[in-house]
Amino acid sequence: MRTDTGQVIHLADYRPTDFVLERVDLTFELDPTETKVEARLIFHRRPGADPAAPIVLDGDELTLSGLLFDQVEMDPSRYDATPESLTVRDLPESAPFELTITTIINPEANTQLMGLYRTSGIYCTQCEAEGFRRITYFLDRPDVLAPFTVNIIADKDANPLLLSNGNFLGGAGYGPGKHFAAWFDPHPKPSYLFALVAGDLGVVEDTFTTLSGREVVLKIYVEHGKEPRATYAMDALKRSMKWDEERFGREYDLDIFMIVAVSDFNMGAMENKGLNVFNDRYVLADPELATDADYANIEAVIAHEYFHNWTGNRITCRDWFQLCLKEGLTVYRDQEFSSDQRSRPVKRIADVRHLKSEQFPEDGGPLAHPVRPTTYREINNFYTRTVYEKGSEVTRMIATLLGKDDFKKGMDLYFDRHDGQAVTIEDFVTCFKDASGRDLTQFSLWYHQAGTPLVTASGSYDAAAGSFTLSLEQMIPATPGQQTKEPMHIPLSLALFGENGGKLEPSSVEGAEYAGEVLHLTGRTQTAVFHGIGSRPVVSINRSFSAPINLHFDQSPADLAHLARHETDHFARWQALTDLALPNLLKAARDAREGKPVVCEATFVETLLAAAADESLEPAFRAQALALPSESDIARELGGNNDPDAIHAGRQAILKQIAEAGKDVFAGLYAAMTTPDDFSPDAKSAGLRALRNTALTYLSHAEQTPARAKAAFDAADNMTDLSHALTILAHRFPDSAQTREALESFRDRFAENALVIDKWFAIQAGIPGAKTLERVRALMDNPLFKRTNPNRMRSLVGTFAFANPTGFGRADGEGYRFLADQILDIDGRNPQLAARILTSMRSWRSLEPVRADHARSALTKIEQAPDLSTDVRDIVERTLK
């Protein structure tokens, strides 16, 4: 493990390397514990660079076992090797030269899952961000690009498959029991996109013919026997390839595209050139084992990694500060893909829910950072919701500001101008400025200023003048390292609705740019006057969530109900329903805390039930509307001094009241929303299941017995229904005999299936209440639990810490102490995973004082532990600051 060196990296210190890498030739002799890596690297000194400068290559836990200069053994006086670097002096002033570096590495001992490691008997690599330096000494940074040749030698029986990036050159036997394969990737790439996989796997094969008529071979590798479970992923891949051609004009560029599913992986998936490596949970699916949410995630992640081929690989990042250049843009692209494949408003609702529940707390807490940060200690800790999801929102705002045509022109210019380069956010934004002529200087603050802007709005109608005046004010909260902020350019999609529900078109607007239904808020305060408005309008602001902001706009329940019925933008209808729900939930939390009875406002319940029963609305939309803001959403809105038990109790009381008032509606939906016997994972069928299952949840609140959920559990013929019923049983009736029986039968039925057992762990980790900690502890000793597997750890410890406010946040602080012990244990094996799970503490300051104190002590215990990794030290220190 790399323990912390305290080193901080600054964007301002960026400078190009002194040496240019021309070519890379790698030879791997694979062995589980002693793999020999020979790297032949051809460099020349960059014109203009210091003629005496040595070359300094990065390493991480490496030992050098051989070094040749132009094929001749190098005199030890000319170089220094440490585990972290290899420095070579006296190099030619301008002539190209070759370094041949040999290292011996131990894949079996690699528990960090960075570099070359073993998972379920196969060899696999993960190099982003800085894993390649665990394989060989290298200029391990994204602005060093070269074509790679890779030769792999391994035991033939154990490793019939030998894969790397690019196109297959050839293979043959290689001495007794061994064979080799050679791959060549003609597209210059940085080391973080390198991949190697070797082992014995099953495969699903297909082909795709590109727009220009080239045939590409597609292969998805999975464990033997799981091939049928990869067909949905293959289908999603082909749809992604087609969509990228149609929507962005991007064609695939190699003869083969491969995906390998592995069971030990720190992240979701990785876009290595031509050889994507996936966490198997984003590949494997069939109706018996995967939920509708799993299918949707698989489709999105397959698309995301495929889209990286252009946004990430062909055009990559100059340095890691530019991470959002590839990630924010690629998330935007995968969200658009899913919107086109499914329902656009429902996808938008799901994405905004996710943004608010994951990115907003990050942006509002101690870990807040700009979409394009300027400093970091550990780059692994910057694969964040801010870089990814807020980065996508910023791209989306560019599309909103420019309009469809100019946005497309800007993207085309970007692909044209920067293909083959490693570039910056400034380069990206300049393309849109050049394509549209729009000044994006103020807009660029979205990349540089952290924190979620708060926009406060108030309106007044002047009947005599026929005008509506909207006053807006923006405030960007202070965040770590950024005390004061400049006003931003905030594009607000906005429309006015009349009494009969129709849209009111203003004859002119004064005080702000308003075009294509977008109002441009650019000042700290701004007043817009809409003329030609014949009756009092109901205003809808930030439709489709055009900007990632918090909006304070005091609208009456009647106006919100009006929008919930008449808005043409269905996202905005959902927003109106949510805005109706929130004050009720906030008040419920306060009342529950004071031991007062919880009562729900009538307009809200009526409007919600009307939406639930409205057959003109998609079932998936109705399910989203009925899924009220979560406990952590409520906590975020309350803002401080939070008591998770009161929030939980208040929310449960509201659910019960809605359930009782809507008993007939829910019984009707439960009976009506059926799907054909033949399972299909399409969005429409998924929507029917979602609404039916939501109705079941409410019915269980109305009935207060596990009977109906148990019957649903017994009758379920797909994983969506089965896991939903199990969740109701476990979360609402944890101590009932029915729940015990259901949990046992689920475990016995799926014991062989790790991804399904993850659901079993997660459902139990999410059971509300103080007793769950004991259950989580016991589950950690369950033979089905495996500490070294990131998916298992995330499903049990991760779900407990991130998604169980009353269990994890129990008043005596035991949950936080438990987490501290787990983090220290995980950190010894897998720092990235430990740091990621530790971010669950990011909102500790908004807890009530007793819990906050316990949380601080737990964090301090971590901080004071010896030998912390850089990853955990960085997170714990920022969280405590």
* DSSP-assigned states of every residue in 517-531: TEEEE-SSEEEEEEE
User: In terms of CB distance, is 386 or 642 closer to ligand PHE?
Assistant: 386
Q: Binding partner of residue 383 among Zn ion, ligand PHE, none, CB under 5 to 8 Å per kind?
A: ligand PHE
The nearer residue to ligand PHE, 385 or 622, going by C-beta atoms, is 385
How many angstroms separate the Cα of 418 from the Cα of each of 308, 317, 422?
15, 11, 8
User: By CB under 6 A, which span of 82-90, 125-133, 611-619, 806-814 interacts with ligand PHE?
Assistant: 125-133
Closest distance to ligand PHE from the beta carbon of 408 (Å): 24
The DSSP H or E segment spanning 309 is none
270 contact choice in Zn ion, ligand PHE, none (CB below 5 to 8 Å, kind-dependent)? ligand PHE
**Residue nearer to Zn ion on the CB measure, 383 or 553:** 383
Are 230 and 283 spatial neighbours (Cβ–Cβ below 8 Å)? Answer: yes
Give 540-609 as a DSSP string. EESGGG-S--EEEE---HHHHHHHHHH-SSHHHHHHHHHHHHHHHHHHHHHHHHTTPPP---HHHHHHHH
- Minimum distance between the CB of residue 276 and ligand PHE, rounded to whole angstroms? 9
> In Å, how far are 220, 691, 870, 871 from 830, measured between CA atoms?
27, 40, 11, 10
Residue 351 is a binding residue for ligand PHE (CB under 6 A): no
Q: Which does 269 bind (CB under 5 to 8 A by kind): Zn ion, ligand PHE, none?
A: ligand PHE
Query: Which two structure tokens, joined as six digits, stand for 298?
Result: 């698989």
From ligand PHE, Zn ion, none, which one binds at residue 572 (CB under 5 to 8 Å depending on kind)? none
Token pair 């400093």 is at which residue?
375
| Three-class SS state of 486 | coil
- Kindly identify the residues of this chain, within the stretch 127-156, that bind ligand PHE according to CB under 6 A: 128-129
Sites for ligand PHE among residues 275-304 (CB under 6 A): 304
d(CA 235, CA 403): 31
Place of tokens 């490496």: 62
Residue 591: Cβ within 10 Å count: 17
Piece of the chain touching ligand PHE by CB under 6 A; list 268-276, 479-487, 684-692, 822-830: 268-276
Q: How far is the CB of 388 from Zn ion (least distance, A)?
A: 7
- Cα separation, 537 vs 518, in Å, equals 17
Considering the complex, what minimum distance in angstroms separates the CB of residue 312 from Zn ion?
7
Which token pair is 381? Answer: 């800790």
Q: Determine the size of the site formed for ligand PHE (CB under 6 A).
A: 12
For residue 78, the SS3 value is helix
Least distance (Å) between residue 308 CB and Zn ion: 6
- Which of 141, 194, 127 is closest to 19 using CA atoms? 141
Member of 327, 336, 363, 633 binding ligand PHE (CB under 6 A) = 327
CB 820 within 8 A of CB 865: no
Q: Which residues of 592-619 are buried (b: 16+ CB within 10 A; e: fewer)?
A: bbeeeebebeebbbebbbbbbeeeebbb
Residue 430, C-beta contacts closer than 8 angstroms, at least 6 positions apart? none
Q: Which residue is nearest to ligand PHE (CB)?
A: 267
Enter the DSSP assignment of 280. G
Shortest distance in whole angstroms from residue 226 CB to ligand PHE: 22
d(CA 442, CA 757): 49
Per-residue binding letters, 523-542, with Zn ion (x by CB under 5 A): --------------------
Buried b (16+ CB within 10 A) or exposed e, 455-488: bebebebeeeeebbbbebbbebeebeebeebebb
Reply yes or no on whether 305 is catalytic.
yes
HSE, CB side, 13 Å, CA atoms: give it for residue 835: 26
Region from 30-38, 121-129, 247-255, 802-810 binding ligand PHE, contact rule CB under 6 A: 121-129
Residue among 38, 128, 271, 305 flagged as catalytic: 305
Taking CB under 6 A as the binding criterion, the range among 223-231, 262-270, 618-626, 755-763 that sits at the site for ligand PHE is 262-270
Binder among 27, 100, 126, 685 for ligand PHE (CB under 6 A): 126
Here's the x/- map for ligand PHE, 381-420, by CB under 6 A: it reads as --x-------------------------------------
**Which 318-337 residues touch Zn ion, going by CB under 5 A?**
327, 330
Question: Which range of residues in 167-175, 264-272, 456-464, 549-557 is near ligand PHE by CB under 6 A?
Answer: 264-272
Quick one: 334 or 645, whose CB is closer to ligand PHE? Answer: 334
Distances (CA, A) of 138 to 88, 568, 569, 803: 12, 55, 52, 40
Instruction: State the minimum distance, in angstroms, from the CB of residue 352 to ligand PHE.
Output: 20
The entry of ligand PHE, Zn ion, none near residue 267 (CB within 5 to 8 angstroms by kind) is ligand PHE
Smallest distance from ligand PHE to CB 358, Å: 15
For the CB of residue 274, give the shortest distance to Zn ion in the complex, in Å: 16
Instruction: Count the neighbouring beta carbons within 10 Å of the beta carbon of residue 108.
Output: 14
Among 67, 124, 181, 269, binds ligand PHE (CB under 6 A): 269
Among 37, 101, 267, 577, which residue sits at the site for ligand PHE (rule: CB under 6 A)? 267
Query: Which member of 305, 336, 363, 378 binds ligand PHE (CB under 6 A)?
Result: 305
Provide the residue count of the chain: 881
Site for ligand PHE, rule CB under 6 A = 126, 128-129, 267, 269-271, 304-305, 308, 327, 383
Catalytic residues: 305
